[in-house]
Structure 1
Amino acid sequence: MAEPGLRAKIGKVVLLEVSGQKLFAIVGAGRFITDGGIIEGDELDDARVIGVVTYFVGSV
């Protein structure tokens, strides 16, 4: 679950939209850390925080 009203702070997990693709990332100092790498610099122009992740729902 991602809460759009919460502030994204360093160390928090967020749901991002980057170039039309949604992914999870950890907020770092001036960057986002994802499973696929680091989003920083000019790449941040294409990144939009949808919300701060407050809860994960697992599937069996």
Structure 2
Amino acid sequence: MVKVIPIGGVMATWENWTRQYTGAMLPSFHQLGPLKLPIEELRTGPTLTETGVSGSIFDPIR
């Protein structure tokens, strides 16, 4: 935090943890103050192809 921001902080959570195919534990829900942010369509795998991604991971932002 910096002093120019007039709040003392915002409570954040990471919830609904799931074990992925790779063994990584990842949350599927995040709450930041009043914002509720579901994490959807999260895919893991040893290669991009195995996650269903084809081409470059940067194609959607080009």
TM-score normalised according to structure 1 size: 0.20
Higher alpha-carbon Rg: 2
Higher strand share: 1
Relative contact order (alpha carbons < 8 A, sep ≥ 6): 1 or 2 greater? 1
